[in-house]
Amino acid sequence: MAERLSLSLTLSPSPPTPAPTTMAAFSTTASSRILSSTTAAAASSRARLSFSSSLKCFQSSPLVSHLFLNQKRSPMVRVSERGLSSTASPKCAAASDPDQLQSAREDIKKLLDTSFCHPILVRLGWHDAGTYNKNIQEWPQRGGANGSLRFEIELKHAANAGLVNALKLLQPIKEKYSGVTYADLFQLASATAVEEAGGPKIPMKYGRVDVTAPEQCPEEGRLPDAGPPSPADHLRNVFYRMGLNDKEIVALSGAHTLGRSRPERSGWGKPETKHTKDGPGAPGGQSWTVKWLKFDNSYFKDIKERRDEDLLVLPTDAVIFEDPSFKVFAEKYAEDQEAFFKDYAEAHAKLSNLGAKFEPPEGIVINDGPSEPAPEKFVAAKYSSGKSELSETMKQKIRAEYEAVGGSPDKPLPTNYFLNIIIVIGVLAILSSLFGN
């Protein structure tokens, strides 16, 4: 299964120099007449401007024929090996709907429970955000978490091998919640996968705007390699470009506690080990840890000890215990899981926001609990404050109890004449007894 891929930004092999490629032009006519180069360029430009990335425009995605195997093509769209041709594309909203975000998260949890796809979903979010360049101010040229990884041109980057399978897993959720952007869905899935695997709660925010066309994808080469000549320098060059520091580099490396590397996809790892031969999911690959679906600090412990030859250690993994600055944090995390969780949660949240454009600008925070608060348990001491005025909560409780026995602010309780007679007789008996004595 695709979900058995390793998740790291540092996993991919050094990509070969890519052959020059040209994005296929959009066409606004079904005619077979050959257009002049000037006319074709103008038609291509107009169609690109109208391209959209939300689910309402889902049929216009260049991934339709290559990515979503069961998705029917729209009669308005034609996909070929050269690219996408479309006669029209509706304009779609950018920011995500908070209620749909919360519902999508619940569906992602169900997906994780049945597909064991935690590693590849973490990797998907990382690779969408990891193209960020802090030295470029303009959006989307600066890269980052903008949903560009859904386009075929970026999926073909060597570092993204196998991530098409993560998109297949998320496709039904994207179809169901069209009010969630791809950029948000990728980061939501990544954070949820970490949390559901036993990792820390990540302080996420949402509302990321999607890029709208493949021309807005970043160039290849922004993600790190697994086996560069100088691993420490390479990691710093890549992660410093994103605005991250040594502590964040080491903390994020700890996410290798999840997942496996498959040599047929990344060029690294064994085809199978004693830890992966039985799954879960499709067997095979080489993991960094024994329990590769559990998020903990075992990655640091296993690299430090190196007692198991069936566990993977890449050059970019080994260097965190060799470089003096990296080693300080790696040693700390190997001994203190709580410290690792704290630093990882902060680093993951920071990575997920890199390069993103938010609408609204402050972002959207979704709650963890139920939408309706549970009834508060009554504790008498809580209301015994010594104040003469009752709290609003106490007033509401008294009112509820009053209405429960038939009363209301508009009418008194029904009169019980028999009870009134008994009370009068009792009072007279007491008075008679007192005066008689």
- Which positions are catalytic? 127
Quote the CA–CA distance of 370 and 372 in Å, as a whole number: 5
CB within 8 Å of 277: residues ≥ 6 apart: 283, 284
Token code pair at residue 110: 């169900």
Quote the CA–CA distance of 217 and 211 in Å, as a whole number: 8
Helix (H) or strand (E) holding 423: helix 417-436
> Residue with structure tokens 């949903």?
147
Give start and end residues of each alpha helix (H) in 150-285.
152-155, 164-176, 182-196, 231-242, 246-253, 263-266
Asked if residue 315 has a cis previous peptide bond (ω within 30° of 0), the answer is: no
Quote the CA–CA distance of 20 and 144 in Å, as a whole number: 23
HSE-CB for 326 with a 13 A CA cutoff: 21
Asked if residue 360 has a cis previous peptide bond (ω within 30° of 0), the answer is: yes
Helix (H) or strand (E) holding 44: helix 37-49
Sign of CA dihedral 293, 317, 202, 331: positive
Burial letters 26-43, b for 16+ CB under 10 A, else e? bbbeeeeeebeeeeeeeb
> Residue with structure tokens 């009134």?
420
Q: Give how far Cα 229 sits from Cα of 9, 224, 316, 328, Å.
A: 17, 12, 10, 22
Give start and end residues of each alpha helix (H) in 67-196.
98-115, 118-129, 152-155, 164-176, 182-196
The one-letter code for the residue type at 269 is G
